Structure 1
Amino acid sequence: MYVQGFGLKTSALVLSRVLNFRLTGRHRASATGRCRRLEEPIGTDANGDSRVGELIGCRSRRLAIIRNSAVVSATILLAACGGGGGVNSAGGAAPAPTPSATPTPVPTPTPTSAADTAEYRASGAVVGMKAAYAYDRGITGKGVTIAVIDTGINVDEAEFKGRISADSTSFDQKIARCATCDAEIVRYDLKDNNGHGSGTASVALAARDAKGVQGVAPEATLLALKIAGPDMSNVSPTSGPVPEGGGPNSALIAPAITYAVEKGAFVISLSLNGFAGGQIAADQRKAMDLVRTSDRLLVNSVSNDVGLDSFAGQIAENLVGTDLANKDWFLFGIRVDRNLHAPSGNGTPGALADRTLAVVASSIDVVGKDGSITTVTGNSFAAPAIAGAAALLKQYWPQLGGKTISRILLDTATDLGTPGVDQLYGVGLLDVGQAMQAQAPAASFVAAQTALANFSSLTMSALFGGASVIGRSVGGMTVFDRYGRDYRMTAATGVRTRGTGLLAGGMLAPVDPPWLTSASTITDARLGFTSTVPDYWRQARPNRPSMVAFSPALGQSVTLGANVVVGGSGGVAGSPLRAVVATPVGMSSAWSGDGWSAGFSAGSSRDGRASLRSASFAMPSGFGFELSELAERGRVLGMSQDVGVGQRGARTTMASLTVRRMVVGIPVSARVTAATTRVDGGSDTMRFTGPVIGTAFAVEGAHGLFGGTATFGLSSPLRVERARVMMLMPVSYDLVSGTLTTRTGAVDLTPDARELDLEFGWSRALSPNSSVRFGVAHAFDAGHVAGAVDTAGFATLTIR
């Protein structure tokens, strides 16, 4: 068994009847045949990392029993920065690796987002993989468990506080103090005495706490699994403690992987290398088979040993299998520096280059065993970074398994070095930002938007709350990318809104010209003409608006109009339909006398799609009644649809109760309106179920002020109180197959608020032939949309 992986010391090895040793570095043996404990520098690797070895065991009575197998082929050595962990325990800067001869890639720019903090920028792996994309969307790995199989963890470390799983543990190990000694069990506590476990765990999930560094998945749960082996170098053959060594016990890898899966870990980080045969290898394959059948993910580090194939004959091959049966649930991590250069010398992923991701893991800061910040270099710190990225995706799409998530990370990586897969960078640099985004052919997104627009191509009038009401139900759909991930596609631009109801310049009653307000007698009949609509009506219609007024008897007046505005008196007491249709123009007639009044008007909108008829009656008591009928073609209270929806039109009947009273010397008028709409036509795309009910109200007053008349009031235009339809709605769209799924469901088109309009105006006749007026109005919850506001104002000067 050969294990490379934890840090500064090596530890115990193996019981067998046949022992084969492959030793790296220097060692020396005693004359008695025992291998002495050797703790001295044994050189540096190609990256400049110090390597310190502790060789123990050999042919003596001091043996560590790891398996009671009949034959175990084993090699023992722990090289310092195993699997990658170049741990600089003194906290100094690790030597910078020599840049490779490959083309220089573009460095990752500093992100500009809410996540761009000093802590974020200090976290090399996090910045390199652009994890800010996930953080800005509230994705932090919360609820996902990451198992870190390493040298343990300090349970009181603030960076992991509250997120260390209660199932974190170390494991029982069998040892024998001598060849003839009885076996005994040792178990070490979870505390990290080495620092390697704390460092790798911090890369995966250290907290975002505005200090030090953060992990890739800062709210994930840590399942810390300690597999540090014993130090048998100076153990008494009869009694006494068996101290913990500095390196891993390879026989504990399989139990730790199995335990991680059983305790619910989704992704497992393993930052060590080496090889083992016999039963240990079989157990490792069995454990990885469980990862596969449970659809979890295991991430391993490529070796730091220059030129070493980290797959062939190594633990990785035990796990994945010579047949590569488990490769889809396995990833390799390999390091690059902050400039995205590979080290000049490194291990290689061998046959698993296409399962390898590059991560910034050279001269990065991590949390040491005592909580201090330590600078490290090594492939050990690539694996936990990839594990953290997998946790981010798992949080957002919990339905995805290890096979799919690993495929996403590989497919969305940024190619580095020589185009394509290679031994220096694998498939390329891990990119969380790309991995979080939907992956599908570009044309499929256009097709999905087109399909959604077909359902949301409505023009909603303010009576229904505008685009917001339809957007609640059919403003979007779920789309699935090539990995089956669900995204919400919205189509707010497909739903349009017609008006808010606040019409500047049309709210305040005009000042009547003197020839209409002069005293009349039974023999005195006066005629006059005046325009009551804007100039564009004159341009659009061949006949100008005109009005005739006369007095048939003392105290009576008759007014006749042609090509004039219909159904829209000024002020806030104007038509409740002001946000529904364009101003109708037609004919009007009115009679008043002795406190009684009656009127009738009829007209149509400029586009010819709506016509309005209205009759009114008022008594001397101040009470009155108005009855109006609005007929629409191809619309329902201003709402229109594209061809194929099937709404042929609608007919609305409105009844209004009016009252005029003097209140503390101020003339006040009020109106309450109820309306019912019958819809003609419909289709499977949209069909109204029952009538549409609406209400409106208005209160206004007038009082003399500064030689003129001030008006003020409160009103609410017509608002839908009941409107239910059965609609065909988009549910989902497969971006790869182009399959659209729909359903028919009930939709309530009632808006979520009521518009309230406050208005103030002032008008005055300047001379017999001129007048001035101005006004301002403010709408709360404009267009019956909660929180929306609208303000309008105007000023007019008329000179004849």
Structure 2
Amino acid sequence: MSSRGMKARMCLAAAPLALLAGCGGGGGGGVGSTPTPTTTTPTTTTPTVTPTVVTPTVTNPTVAIPAANYDDAEYRRSNGATDIGAVTAYNAGSNGTGVTIAVVDTGIATVGSEFSGRLSTASRAFGGNTSVTDVDGHGTAISAIAAAARNGSDVQGIAWGATVLALRADTTGTCGTTDGCKFGDSSLASAIDYARTNGAKVINLSLGGSAANGMLTTAIQRATAAGIIVVVAAGNDGNASPDAFAQVAAAQGTSGLVIIAGSHDATGAISSFSDRAGTFGQFYLTALGERVRAFNQNGEAYLYSGTSFSTPGIAAAVALIEQAFPSLTAAQVVDILYKSATDAGAAGTDDVYGRGLLNLAKAFQPIGTASLAGSAVPVSSTDTTVLSPAMGDSSLTPSSLGSAIILDSYGRAFEMGLSGRTIRTGAGRPLRDGLRTDLLTQNTDLGAVSVATTVARRFADEPWTGFAQRGLAGNEQRIRPSSGAIVSRFSPGFATGMAFGEGAASLASRLDPSAGEGSFLSARSPATATDMARRPQFALAVRRSDGGIDFHMEAEQGRMARALPTDTLEPSYAQMRVGLGRRVGRLLMNGYLGTLREAHSLLGARLAPALGAGGATTRFIDMDAKLDLGRGWSANGGVRRSWTEGTEGGVLASADLRSMAASLGLVREGATNRIGLRLALPTRVTGGGLGLIVPTSYDYTTGAIGYETRFIGLAPKGRESDVEANAGLRLGEGWLETNLFWRRQPGNIAAAPDDLGAGLRYNLGF
């Protein structure tokens, strides 16, 4: 019968760290424990990695731990806990309560109140021992790292609410010898079987030595088949592969539920004494195992080193996850520990660190694709909502949206914000956008058909477009096609037009040049305003006059600019409106009914996936009028009233918005000069908002989801108003124009500073 041991001893208080035979196996490896100096406290170990915890808080109705400051002095002294960010689990409501950790070791000493009420009454001795009382100190130190009480004294265990099933298995009479405690395979097998039948969720084996015999291997297989996770020390010889005993992790029938525990130091570097992962990397995980603070059977504080002391860190992490997420299988718990581990050494699983460094903080974050509870809608902490100018400084913010219950790829419930951030598009850049557009315009009149083509200079954020087909060379190729239109006049009262890169309202003005409203960059009419950063691709317009009644039909489709540079989605839209016009003397009046359909946007806004973002339909009424004042002067005005209904999806149960835009202007159009003044009120939401039905609770036992309703208004406090003056002079084949504008509360944001601008441009025909 083979035997194994941990062969650990503690040095005298004044002695330096001694090299001893290994806790966790190995006949000549280094391991030790140093008494804590009575006059000083060991420096608190900062977690090797401090992950950015995406707020989600675990939702588990079975856990009811009062709110507390878990990041206190006792926690900071407990470097086994701080190294893995265990406070994240505590803040999420998990401390190991209800989970049993079986510690198969040298027993346990009832030090003060450290294990009061949490030492299982089923604790038992094997190997010929008659008591679980620890006379060596090793088993007590292991239990302390895993589950010592959070009582303000000395250190706390990582899973300080867990129950310890102390199973003393050292062979009678071996502890206290120079070779250290010995453990027989049959005693270990009996202890593991006993743990399996007495409620253990995880078994800690901080020992090592020769390979497990058939009896012990079979006992481990029975435990893992029952869904119990076994954590075994890697060994302390500094070898390239784990100890022979730890290699049981690769045995058939263990279902991948045996974790080999290596040791790293406070910086995250592999400990010099720790056996490496070797070819067992898929089962290997490291935890702090160097100078880990705990206490012995007499309650004396020591700094322990050895893979024996990294093992309970992993076992305790299992307990915290088991309590927090009771619906997980043992295989999922292990997989979460591996996938949340901090990668170290070579990328991915390697032969030194295996899966990496234990990172409990990350294990308590969603892993894989997360979705809203009760749906398949994917969500992420980086999801962004981009509001359109029409919504300005409305009350929609991440805090006003609140949080919802999401499930990660393991079905774990978390509480996460519905939108990680909100961006308000604000004032926009009307001056630059207006000046960058028309550079060269070619107009060709073929009688009943006229053709207009416009190209524009390339800007730094736009792709190069070759234009060699136009016979341009050199730097002149650094242009892009901007727009083109074909207008056909079948009779004085009937005209049609088609265009690319030009909006339908602009195309319609080509069909009836007398309807011109001036040349403005910022203060646009309601029909031509680009409040949603539209990029028209194709437009169609028809105008027919009969008996003093004008019939208008306009349609366009296109895309809207991406909200963020990282966006892969470019929303599209299609709009159509029909109208009737009538002239009464010098007064021209028009009325329109129209529909705007958006894909993946809501009145120009891009909502986070949790809020749906499926699209919207807007129905609107346009009214405009133009009064001829004589001598080339005219007054014009218009108003648009809109009603928008968003597509339901995610937590979005309804989206009903009302909006309005208006303008009033005075224009003089001449053959060689023109001048204009306009006041415009761009599109602004005047009422309505988002109705949400949000999952707010989740029951692991039944899978039941609780919901609450919320309403977020989208009417902004700000109201943008634009005043713009325009003057143009015919110069050669083009127009030299200047524009001056003043925008108050731009982007419908009350706190936004006024936007003043002036521009000079020359549009050249060729």
TM-score range, shorter chain: 0.3 to 0.5
What TM-score comes out, normalization by structure 2 length?
0.47
What TM-score comes out, normalization by structure 1 length?
0.45
Larger radius of gyration: 1
